[in-house]
Amino acid sequence: MSFRKLQYFVPLVALAGFLAPWGCSATTDDGNSNPTPSTSSTTVGTGTGGSGGSEPGTGGEGGLNIGVGGGGQGGSNVDPDAACTSTSAEAELIPLDMIVLLDKSGSMSGSLWNGSVAALSNFFDAPEADGINVGLQYYPINSSCDYTIYNNLAVDIAALPLNAPVLKASLAGETPNGPNTPTWGALRGVLTKATAHQDANPDHKVIVVLATDGSPNGCTGNDTTTAIAQLATQARLYNGVQTYLIAMQGANVANLNQIAMAGGTTQAYDVTGNINLFAQKMAEIRANALACEFPIPDPPLGEMLDLYKVAVSFTGSNGVTTELPRVNNATLCGNGPGWYFDKPIDSTPPPTQIALCPNSCETARSNSSVQLKVLFGCAPRVD
> What domains appear along the chain, each with residue ranges and CATH number?
11-92+293-383 (no CATH), 96-289 (3.40.50.410)
At residue 156, does pLDDT exceed 60? yes
Average pLDDT over residues 32-45: 33
Q: For position 50, what pLDDT does the model report?
A: 37
Under 8 Å between Cβ of 358 and 287: yes
Average pLDDT over residues 247-268: 96
At residue 154, does pLDDT exceed 60? yes
The residue that leads in pLDDT, 366 or 356, is 356
The residue that leads in pLDDT, 326 or 12, is 326
Under 8 Å between Cβ of 314 and 322: yes
What are the tens digits of pLDDT across the range 174-230? 999 988 999 999 999 999 999 999 999 987 889 999 999 999 999 999 999 999 999
- 87-117 core/surface letters (b: 16 or more CB in 10 A; e: else): bbbbbbbbbbbbbbbbbbbebbeeebbebbb
At residue 129, does pLDDT exceed 50? yes
* CA 105/CA 116 separation, integer angstroms: 13
pLDDT bracket for residue 2 (50, 70, 90): very low
* The overall pTM is greater than 0.85: no
CB atoms within 10 A of CB 373: 27
* CA 295/CA 70 separation, integer angstroms: 17
Average pLDDT over residues 115-120: 98
The residue that leads in pLDDT, 254 or 39, is 254
Q: For position 100, what pLDDT does the model report?
A: 98
At residue 126, does pLDDT exceed 90? yes
CA atoms lying within 13 Å on the CB side of residue 274: 5
